[in-house]
Amino acid sequence: MWRVPAVCRYAPCMSSPPAPALPANDALAAIAAAVDEMLWLWDAASGRVTFVNAAFERYWGRTAADLERGPLALVELVAHDDIARVRAARAALPGPGYVIEYKVQQPGTRERGPRLVRLREQALCVPNAAGGQTVVHIAKDVTWQFDTTAALRAEISRRTDAERNLNDANARLQALLATANDAVITIDTDSHVMDWNTAAERMFGYSRAEALGQLLTELIIPRGHRANHLGGITRYLNGGKPQIMNRRVETRALRRNGEEFDVEISIWPVRTAEGLTFSSFVRDISRRKAAAKALSDSEAKYRKVVENVNEGILVTAGGRILYANPKALALTGLDEATAMSKPFIEFIHPDDRERVLTNHMRRIKGEPVENYYQFRVLHNDGSSRWLEISAVLFEWMGTPATLNFLTDVTQRRQAEEDMQHSLRRERELSEMKSRFVAVASHEFRTPLAAILSSVELLDDYGNRLPDDERKEIVGLIKTAVTRMNGMIEQVLVTSKLESGRFVFDPVSAAVPSLLAQMAAELDQANPQAARIAMQCEGLEDRRLVDAQLLRHILMNLLGNALKYSAAESPVTCAASADGDRLHLVVQDRGIGIPPVDLPRLFQSFHRGTNVGNIQGTGIGLHIVKECVDLHQGSIEVDSEPGRGTIFRVRLHAPVVYG
C-alpha cells in the first residue's frame, strides 16, 4: 500500500471544494522525511518546484533548486519508449491526478554506475495556504517487483517447457524402444522383468505380457551363465566393483525354443525414486559371429595356401613391404621384422633398383607398366638371385598397394646362360673346326708336296743321284715331316687344353737349367735359334714351376719371334723373379701385330692380317694363353707394326726353401 500523507488524500484539484490549509512547513518536512517514497511538490501557478524530501535527494542526487519547472522534472531521464506517456500525463496537470509506471535512467554513484529502473509515480493536487494549488508527486522504485514477476514467469515457462520436453522425450524414447532392432530389457534387483520391447519379443519368442514379472534367469539366460548373472547383481548391490556394467560384452543367450545363440549386451544401473533397476541392450550377433567364423576359416584356408605356395607373395605400398609370405622371405634370407623395417628398394640389386622403383610408382599411379619382368634381389648370404615378378594394383587397408607374385628364376636363367654359352662354344668349335680344316689343308699341303716331290725324285733318279743330293732330298723329307709333327703336336696340345686334360703340376726346379734345355731344343729344331739371346737374373733359388707349361709358353713365343722377324734381327728372352712371381720377356724386331688383330690375338687359328705368305697354324699364341692361365699367371703384349713385338709373362712360381 502507498503511504500517502493525509494532506494529499484529496480528489482532483479543479473539481474539489476548498480544502483546509497545509500544515506548517516544518511539520510537512518531518512527515516527508519519515517516508521511503520520493516526494516532490511544485506550485501550479508558477510551475516552480517548492519541495523535495530526503528520499528524493538520496535517489536522484538532486535538490529542489536543481529541478526544472514541475511538469518537466526528471523528464529528460525517462526511457525513450515511455517518455511520450509521461509527458502526456504531466501536461494534464494541474487537473485530474494519475498513477503511472515508467522506466527511467537512475544516475550513477561512486559505488555503482547508472542503471535503468522502473518507477510507479502518483500525482495529485491539493490547495495551499496562499489559496492556490500545489501539485504533489509521490514515486517509488518498483524494479524489484518487476524483476521478481518476470523471473517467476520465466521459471513457470521454463518448467512448462521442461515438462513438455520431458513428455516429448519420453514419447520419442518409447517410440525408439518399440522400433529398435536391439532388445531392450529392464529388470529389478531380484531379476524380475519390468520392461520388454518388441525386439525382445522377436529375438527370444516371448510376448511382452508373458515376459513381464518373470525371472530373467528362467527366460533367456542359459544354465551355465545363471550363477554369474546372479552373482554379479549381488556383488554390485554389496558395493563391489561391477565387471560388465556400462560396457559391451559378448555372451550367450537362450531362445524360447531352447536354442542358444551369441549376443552382445550392454547393461547399466538406473536409480529412481522407486528404487534401483538394471536396463540392457541385447543384440543378436549370431549371424555376425557365423560370418566372422566363416571369414576366419576362409582367411586361414587362403593364408595356408599363400604361405605354402612356391611363389613369393609381397604386398607393398609407400615404398615398404606390408606383408611377405615365407617363400618371399626365403628369397632374401630375411626375417619378417627386418623385411618390413626398411624400404624394399634396399633389397634390390643396385643395377635393377631404378627399373623396379619406376615400375612400382607407375603401377601405384595407375599408369601402364610392364607386368612381367625380371630383376635381382640381394640375399642375406651376400649372393644375388634372379626373380620374375607379376603384380596387380589393389587396396590394402584403405591404401593403394601392389600385390606382387615372385618366382625364383635363378636356375632357369643359369640354365639359359649355360645353354647360350654352350651354343656360343659350339659355334666357336664349329668355327675353329672350319679354320682348322682351312689351315690344315693349307699348311699340310706344303710339306706333303715337298715330301711327294722328294719321294718322286728318289723313285725316278735314286740310283743315279749323287750321295749329297740324295742326302739333301732325304733332309727335305725329314724337315717336312718334322714340320708336320710340330703342327700335329700343337693341334693335340690345343685339344688337351680345350678338354681340360692339361693340369697345373708344379715341381721344384732350377729355372736357368730349364731355360738352357729349351735353348738346346731350339738349336736342334730351328736353324735360326742362334739369334736368340737368353738372359737370367735373380733366379738362383729353386722355384715351383710346371716345366711342361713353361716349355709350351717359351717355345711358342720364341718360335714366333724367329718366324716373324728378319734373319739378321736379334731376339731376346729375359727371365727374372720378383717375390713369388717369375717374369719372362720375349722381344723381337719383326713385322709386329696390327692393332685390329690384338683383341683376337689369343684365339685358336687366328693369324695376323699382315703375315702374308709366312707359314703358321694360328694356334701357338692360344696355347701360350691357356698355359699362362693354368700357371696362375698373366700375359701382356706391346706391338707396333714394322717395329716388333714384346710379350711380358708373369707366372706364379714361389721359391722352394730347404
Using one digit for the tens of pLDDT, what is the confidence trace for 588-635? 999 999 999 888 888 877 788 888 877 777 778 888 888 899 899 999
- Residue pair 84/68 in contact (Cβ under 8 Å)? The answer is no
Q: What is the pLDDT of residues 265-285, one digit of tens each?
A: 988 888 877 789 998 999 999
Average pLDDT over residues 565-586: 92
* More confident: 240 or 76: 76
Class of the CATH-defined domain 6-141: alpha beta
Domain with CATH 3.30.565.10 in the chain: 502-652
pLDDT at 454: 74
Class of the CATH-defined domain 180-289: alpha beta
% of the chain beyond a pLDDT of 90? 29
Residue 431 dihedral angles phi and psi, to the nearest 5°: -65, -40
Q: Name the range with the highest mean pLDDT among 471-485, 551-565, 574-588, 603-617.
A: 574-588
Average pLDDT over residues 478-496: 70
* More confident: 491 or 558: 558
pLDDT at 2: 35
pLDDT value at 434 more than 70: no
pLDDT at 14: 39
- Residue pair 388/373 in contact (Cβ under 8 Å)? The answer is yes
pLDDT value at 6 more than 50: no
Class of the CATH-defined domain 309-408: alpha beta
Q: What is the pLDDT of residues 507-527, one digit of tens each?
A: 999 999 998 888 888 887 788
Q: Could you say which DSSP state residue 13 is in?
A: T
- Quote the mean pLDDT of the chain: 83
pLDDT at 32: 78
pLDDT at 82: 92
% of the chain beyond a pLDDT of 70? 89
Q: In this predicted structure, which of 2-6, 60-64, 265-269 has the lowest mean pLDDT?
A: 2-6
pLDDT at 582: 94
Q: What is the pLDDT of residues 396-418, one digit of tens each?
A: 888 888 889 998 888 888 888 88
Domain with CATH 3.30.450.20 in the chain: 6-141, 180-289, 309-408
At 644, is the secondary structure helix, strand, or coil? strand
pLDDT value at 4 more than 60: no
pLDDT at 138: 94
pLDDT at 416: 87
- Side-chain half-sphere of 424: how many Cα atoms within 13 Å? 6
Q: What is the pTM of this model?
A: 0.38
Q: Which long-range contacts (CB under 8 A, 24 or more apart) does 528-532 make?
A: 528/562, 528/567, 529/558, 529/562, 531/562, 531/565, 531/567, 531/568, 531/569, 531/570, 531/571, 532/558, 532/561, 532/562, 532/571, 532/572, 532/573
If one looks up domain 502-652 in CATH, what number appears? 3.30.565.10
- Residue pair 68/81 in contact (Cβ under 8 Å)? The answer is no
Burial, 383: exposed, middle or buried (Cβ in 10 Å; 0-12, 13-18, 19+)? exposed
